[in-house]
Structure 1
């Protein structure tokens, strides 16, 4: 099947909103080269659980492509059409399994020495969208607040060496009630600028009590997701054992299996109203390397993905201490909350994590 053969019934197995979006934009999807279409469908099939900012970006992108005159559209897609795909890839189920198709596609592009051509085509496409759509200015300047040092008694090396050159460092502040003051300011912003998934609190241990039930504030906590991570590891062990007894447990197969896990599979329960958050949390734990094991990695990666996907007005990220390092087989088996904590290493992680958060916010309007 080729993109031009797509029909309304081709998306019968998509979630409701994803199916409606696909049918609404069927004329554009049919004109896309398969190599780009498979990447686009990876996001479209998740449409029901996308954040508002992601949905808006998809709508703007397809509206732009629909308005683009034929000659310009063909020129934009030509670099993708120039990359030839194997018959095996063309026969794959790229409609219902775009994630798996993309993984197979990556291996094929490397084997055919076409990966650079694909990256160049994708970069040019992305730059075209950015230039044509422009930046969406937020209703108020974005705030990212990163709190580090939880559990640390002293500093053995200078902090903020990466951040200091980009701003002002105040060294005579009174830290008394500092956390309470910051949380109060974050809660005030949620009331001044109510926006669904527009204000986030990402915590590396237990959330501050004043923020737990704050209206309009999306709260995530590493400690609360540890049981989910342990369930994920258990499922992964089951999968690899089954594969060892007659299947294939290669990296691509494992990656596809992990990407296909749902919140229900890992016992992450909730309501239809918070489905986007639960799917986001599952994606963090199944696709973010180290997020399950180290709380500092969790906060850093969650902040990155939050800024990239939700584009919040406010992000409050607080690093806690993480478990001490150990051989990988131990890290995968033990409970990270019941281990000795590495305060010094956690502070180094958090210091660099603060710098990463600044970089990622700088990419937004």
Structure 2
């Protein structure tokens, strides 16, 4: 009798543990997590836009070289089918929330839609694993916002799985079929919203603006160029009111972005500002301050640019080098020579030319003496600015 009573107590305890909470508790928990994912992707989308369009913007999670959301946003992997990945994330969470709203319908509780939501959450989680792999082995940098999104996706998967366990229904695929039929039969206002949403997703890759694709102004005879007494190429004013000396790395996204902005400002004010170029490749072959190789191809690109000075084609070569993909594995010397207008034979022998190598190492040493620790860096009137230039400095000259 006592043994039977103990068994009854154990069974009763198990039943108490597995008894589901009220349905709204599960629903609003899933809704809150999905809404957090949506807000996370909205922030990431805004950050992606500003990184490519705002000269002075640095995201909150740009902590170090290895933990840097900006590095991730600047990579080729941040765009998928002509649309930024975080924008796809906004659409994905939006779609999830629209479907979730169907589940709150009295006729849907507590079984409908959850199998379909489980498959979507499973897709989100698998995609998160793919993106995590790309971060680790391709981009080689970590994004705090991205990782928060991965955690949200796995949390959604777990919560939807819990709901399926708490409100079981036999036959996964038959239940999934019922979910789909519930969405379309009878036709609902929310169904119309869902259809328009899906149509917008299909159209988006065609109409989305490519704000991340920017180009340097064309070399024009209206904008003077020359070489300083120290052998540094310059572009801009013959008698400048402001001289900006840039220390740059051709594999550095921020260098390219700021160089583009400065060139546009110079093109609009060719008689006021002069931009002077100095090499600072983040390559230990030329940069003795480095213990690791951040941009191993940047030294070779600097060699090409330094050689182009000898043939008076620096700015043509400079603009080509900034457009080279950052994940380049090999450099087509012949194509580079043809497009820039320098001789192929000379460019091919450039790594062995003492004058070329000396110029790059001299630029790096001048930067180190100034206090340059990374790129881009700028010297203005003897003062060093790392990573950015205060707009007040430029606006003062332009306004005058």
The TM tier, using the shorter chain, reads under 0.3
Radius of gyration: which is bigger?
2
